[in-house]
Structures are given as C-alpha cells and as structure tokens.
Amino acid sequence: MLDSTFWITVLTIVVVMGAMLTICAYLIYVERKIAAWVQDRVGPNRVGPFGLLQPLADGLKFLFKEDIIPARVDKLLFLLAPAIAVSTALFAFAVVPFGPTSRENVYQFVIAPGLDIGIVFVFAVTSLTVYAIILGGWASNSKYSLLGALRSSAQLISYEIPMGLSILGVVLLAGSLNLEQIINRQADGGIWGWYIWYQPLAFLLFLTSVLAECNRLPFDLPEAEQELIGGYHTEYSALKFGLFFVGEYTHVVTTSFLLVVLFFGGWDFPGVGPLTGFGGAILKLVIFLLKMSSFIVFYMLIRWTLPRFRFDQLMALAWKVMIPLALVNVLCVMVVKQLDPLHPLWLLPLSLILLMGSAALAGSWPRRAPRVLVVSRGHEQTEAMVR
C-alpha cells in the first residue's frame, strides 16, 4: 500500500512541471516586453488583453508547425538532443527548495527533501546539458551547428569550474551541501546572516558563471546569429526548437533559485522567520518567488545592456580572471574558518579587496599593441589592424 507521502510527491512533481512550463512560456513574453521597454517600442499587445495570450499562441504555433528533419542527419541523436536539454533542466529542479521546508510545516516546498548532497546533485545534472548541445550540433550535419556546439562545449566546461569553486566558500560557512540547511543557517542569523555579506566576490563569480551556463548575453556565443545563424539549433524547427527554448528558460529559473538559496537567505526576510502555519508558509513562498523573479528580470536587462564578448575574451575571463579569483576566495574562507578568534565578517573586506585589486591589476596590465597588416591588391595597398 502506497502511503500519502508518495502521492504528495507525485502531485508536487505534476504541479511543479506544469508551473515551470507555464513560467517558461510567460518568461518569453516578459523578455519581449522588457526588450520593447529598453528599445522604446511596444512589444506583444495584440493577442489577448495586453498581449497576455501571446505565449499560448506561440505554443500552439510550435505544436502545429511542420516537423522538418533535414536530410543526412543522425536522426536518433538529432531527436534525442532537445529531449536531453529539457529533461536535465527539469530534473535539476528536484532538489531545489522553492519555499519553506521546515519540519513544522505540513507541506515541504521541495520535490526531494533532505538530500544531503543537494548542490552536488544540481551541478551533476546541469552539467549534462552540454551533451544536448553537442549532440544537436554534431547530429545536424551542418558546419554552423557544429561550430556553435564546439563553442558551447568550451564555454560550458570552462565556466563550470569557477561556478563550482565560487560556492565552496558558502558550503564551508554552512557546513553542509544540503540546500535546505544552507537556507536555515542564513535564516538563523537574520538578514545579516545572508551569505551575500560574507561572500560578495563569490556571488559575483557565481552570477557571471550562471550567465555563461545559461547562454545569456554577453555569453551567448554558441548561438550568435551574426556569424553562426542560429548556432547549435540552426537546423531545428517546430516542437524540437521549442524544447531547446524550454530547457534554456528552465535553467534560468533553476539558477535564479540557486542564487537566492546560496546568497540571499532563500525564503528568509526580516520579521517572517517566526511565522508558522499556512499563512506563514504562503508568505515565505511569495518572498522566495519575488527574490527569484528579481534575478530573472536582471538577466533580461543584462541582455540589452552589455555587448557580446569575443570568444578569446570569453575564455580569458574564465581561465585568467575568474578561476584564480575563486581559488583565492576559497583560501580566504579556509583561513578565516580556521582562525577561531576572527569573525566571518572579515570575509567581506577580504572579498572587496580581492575584487578591487584584480580590477586595478587588469586596468594597469600592459596591452600588446595591434599589428598592422598591409594587404596589396594590384597597385592599391590597404592597412588592417590585427590583434
């Protein structure tokens, strides 16, 4: 006989999957509205009041479009790639708490509660996303798709290193890999117990790595339309293209939840910690969602604020800047944790000193002068600047 916990878990999975798919659909609408606001235009406003039915129209368009599979593709891998993209993104959300998970509450807002290696599980599952992009680019039998997939593999693997190193300081401070315990440790200290005060440099490194992992601007080189048409999903259409979109936006939602959990106290907010019961749980859920939504809006504003990096700049930022900074940051946390008389708040000035020092070093670093290449065409000569 199956107990009630099983059916509660099944119901939670169904509700969360439905909510995630709905959120992803309306995030496209929100992004188009934010883009219109930044660019001083209108945006979707025809389908339904204020254009609110536009995501439904787009979803129906994906469903009823002709499903085209190009000739000479590896059909099995071509169809498997978008399925991996969306399934890994949804699977990673299984251990991410999206509300209070206290034992005092009748319901815990997480699909798989109490997983002691929660953050490791999230990293392990989300790292599989690179297989979807690689398989999609290679199986498409297109040079543009293959180049986009190769770019993505280098980018995702490179930025997973500083992303993993940046959270080691949080794990050391919390003494646990359990995401629920990390929230509880911050809630015990109130708003000044949030790890953003102890690890601002780690937060900046994690946020930058997340933008690269989600292929968001200024790190969207795998699908840069100027030189790669559409990148790794150039040959995809209809529902298969929609699955890639759902996987990307689901990854955005998951990483936004992680930013709130790791650095901003999760559901914690001044005055709501002691609240219990149904009303307290709903209020904490709303606070969690508002924090998560603020990061999603920030992602979308960044898209229309910063230009795209060159690929060499992208890789240099990861290997020459972010990885060394993340390693030094972890060393600082270990030293402060080892020296008992020091309070963890010493990490705040240390992080700021590291950040400002690296910025000053980068600004004063001697730059190589560009070389001049002389190109002769008949009787004419032209000069081109070559880095």
Q: Do 53 and 44 meet the contact criterion of CB atoms below 8 Å apart?
A: no
Distance from chain centroid for Cα 11: 26
Mean pLDDT of 137-160: 85
C-alpha span between 193 and 183 (Å, rounded): 10
Q: Do 137 and 220 meet the contact criterion of CB atoms below 8 Å apart?
A: no
**pLDDT beyond 60 at 380:** no
Q: Do 289 and 207 meet the contact criterion of CB atoms below 8 Å apart?
A: no
Query: What percent of the chain stands above pLDDT 90?
Result: 16
**pLDDT beyond 90 at 387:** no
**pLDDT beyond 70 at 227:** no
How much is the pLDDT for 43? 87
- Tens digits of per-residue pLDDT, 325-367? 999 999 988 888 888 656 777 888 888 888 888 778 776 666 6
**pLDDT beyond 90 at 205:** yes
Looking at mean pLDDT, say which of 128-132, 151-155, 161-165, 224-228 comes out highest: 161-165
- Confidence class for position 386, pLDDT limits 50, 70, 90: very low
* Model pTM score: 0.88
How much is the pLDDT for 370? 58
Q: Do 275 and 6 meet the contact criterion of CB atoms below 8 Å apart?
A: no
Supply the DSSP symbol for 40: T
**pLDDT beyond 80 at 225:** no
